[in-house]
Amino acid sequence: MIEIKSVVKQYGRKRVLDNVSLNIEKGKITSFIGPNGAGKSTLLSIISRLIGKDGGEVYLEGQLVDRIDYNDFARRLSILRQTNHINVRLTVRELVSFGRFPYSEGKLKAEDLEHIEKALEYTQLQDEQHKYLDELSGGQRQRAFIAMVIAQDTDYILLDEPLNNLDVKHSVEIMKILRRLVRELGKTVVIVMHDINFASCYSDHIVAFNKGQIVKEGEVEEIIRKEVLEDVYDTNFVVQDIMNRRICFYY
């Protein structure tokens, strides 16, 4: 479990996160939704220690994250940010191998190779593994980064808008991979999402943010409701059940 206790983050005088407290349960997909600038990505970055915080604590399975050694932390929690521009020219396999760095420090052992193979298989990138990243399509590249995170083999996986710039087919592929990770390997996945319907269809738990605070959190049925969403996004919503899923219209 990840426990977040009254976390504060401010840039200058502007509070991006205002006393946010939240528990993220193990073995589930939790989605963060909310309008732009609500603080979702900031919270994700704070949990994963990419940026510092101005107040509050974050615990990973009861341990204060700031006390966990860097390498140890990287074996337990991984993060994938939305902008993954890499200046080095790497093949898919080389990128995925980097996921083993926390274990191997660069010298791959048999066990590491096994993990790499498995990650490639999970993301169906075996055929592309020797291609360079800049030769891939957007969807394949995103899968390659997810494969790296899978190879990292952490219990917790945090993703910041993994569906950004992807078409429908590739978005569905990625969400299915994430679902499998939770179901088969018992991973805990936290995603920042822009598409509410994807959040609705694939999450176990949804946290709605607005203006640096959590407006409401709960199961899909509790959050994907007209009143809640209209409150969060300040737009008109129509919510309907279609084929046992909650779908919203907001156009």
Partner 1 sequence: MKTKQKIYVLSIILLILLFLYLALGLNPVIWRYALSLRIPKTIALLLVAASIAFSSAVFQTLTNNRILTPSVLGLDSLYMLIQSFIVFVFGSGTLARLGENFNFIVSVAFMVGFSLLLFRFLFKREERNIFFLLLVGLVMGTFFQSLSTFMQVLIDPNEFLVIQNRMFASFNNMNTDILWLALLISFLAVLFALKDLRTLDVLSLGRENAINLGVNYDYMVKKFLIIISILISVSTALVGPITFLGLLVVNLAREILKTYKHNYLITGAILIGSIALTFGQLMAERIMNFSTPISIIINFIGGLYFIYLLLKESKI
Provide the binding-site residues for partner 1, judged by CB under 8 A.
48-52, 70-75, 78-81, 84-90, 94, 98-99, 101-102, 105-107, 152
Return the number of the residue (81 or 211) whose C-beta is nearest partner 1: 81
Measured from the CB of residue 246, what is the shortest distance to partner 1 in angstroms?
A: 33
Closest to partner 1 by CB, 97 vs 203, is 97
Cα–Cα dist 135/75, whole Å? 30
As measured in angstroms, the least distance from the Cβ of 84 to partner 1 is 8
Closest separation in Å from C-beta 99 to partner 1 = 7
CA within 13 Å, CB half, 173: 18
Strand order in the sheet with 14-24: 14-24, 2-11, 55-60, 63-64
Dihedral over alpha carbons 20, 62, 220, 245 (to 10 degrees): 140
**Alpha carbons 13 and 19: distance in angstroms, whole number:** 15
Minimum CB distance to partner 1, residue 52 (Å): 5
Q: Closer to partner 1 by CB, 40 or 246: give it.
A: 40
Closer to partner 1 by CB, 54 or 227: give it. 54
Q: In degrees rounded to 5, what are phi and psi of residue 165?
A: 65, 15
Least distance (Å) between residue 63 CB and partner 1: 16
Nearer to partner 1, 64 or 86 (CB): 86
For the four alpha carbons of 55, 57, 99 and 206, in that order, the dihedral sign comes to: negative
**Which residues make Cβ contacts (< 8 Å) with residue 157, sequence separation at least 6?**
77, 78, 79, 80, 149, 178, 181, 187, 188, 189, 190
